[in-house]
Amino acid sequence: MSFLASTAAQVVELAAEAEVDPADAKATAGASSAGFAYGLAAIGPGIGIGYLVGQAVQAMARQPESAGQVQTTMFLGIAFTEALALIGFVVFILLKFA
Amino acid sequence: MSETSPPVDRLEGPSPAAEVALDIAKRGLPVLPVGMIIGAIFAELPGALSVAFGMALVIVNLLLSAALLNWASKISFAMVASAALGGYAMRLGLIFVAFWLVKDMSWVAIVPLGITIIITHLGLLAWELRHVSASMAHPGLKPKQSRKGPRPVAAGRR
């Protein structure tokens, strides 16, 4: 976060030197920071879903008779993990558009 | 010498993921008017409409996820992994596009929409998880059997 804040501050300073409206520069820096944050927020769930599905597929291959239960648990696990990405998305839209 | 079972690489029969997603959608429908009333209290008509849009977004997202997994599980386990990760990226993109298309419309209130997406997603999942957990731990307590037939069974390579 400090990296993003320092980058935003640098952008505002450069804009001031280049005679660009600081408000525009700040909005631009805010937009890019929000995009960074959303992208970073999507990485964790991606890793989590990959691990979860890998283990579920392994379980279904090892114990086909319990495939139904495994698939139910896998679906719910994917949906819960995806909630993290959705929270990142909502924070992004709140920061950017609210 | 014992026989080895044939390799298992796909599932046949109805998908439990689709059943769970449909169940979640059914649970979401009665909650919709309550959410719209709460949205209307805080942000009037735009609040109510944004809550409805947010809930529709979440339910369609879950149904799409289940449909993709259901389709992929009939093909192969490798396709399940592809559909899960590819579907995750695709659905995040679709949610962003859906939001982008409506963000400037007069009936959209951003804050109720965002809050609705999180609360509906987590709330409906927690509700469903409670039901599923009870069914798994105590199968006899399950309200009724699926009308779509037996649970999926594994199938070998053709």
**Where along chain B do its domains lie?**
14-130
User: Which residues in chain B are contacts of A83 at CB distance < 8 A?
Assistant: 118, 121-122, 125
Q: What is the pLDDT of residues A41-64, one digit of tens each?
A: 889 999 999 999 999 988 888 888
For residue A53, which of A86, A77, A83 has the smallest C-alpha distance? Answer: A77
What residues contact A82, with CB distance under 8 A and at least 6 apart?
A: A45, A49, B65, B88, B91, B121
Q: Does A42 touch chain B (CB under 8 A)?
A: yes
Q: What is the pLDDT of residues B17-60, one digit of tens each?
A: 888 888 899 988 999 999 999 999 988 899 999 999 999 999 99
Of A75, A80, A86, the CB nearest to B117: A86
Of A76, A85, A87, the CB nearest to B132: A76
Thinking of the domain A2-97, which architecture would CATH place it in?
Answer: Up-down Bundle (1.20)
What is the pTM (predicted TM-score) of this model?
0.78
Q: Where are the domains of chain A?
A: 2-97
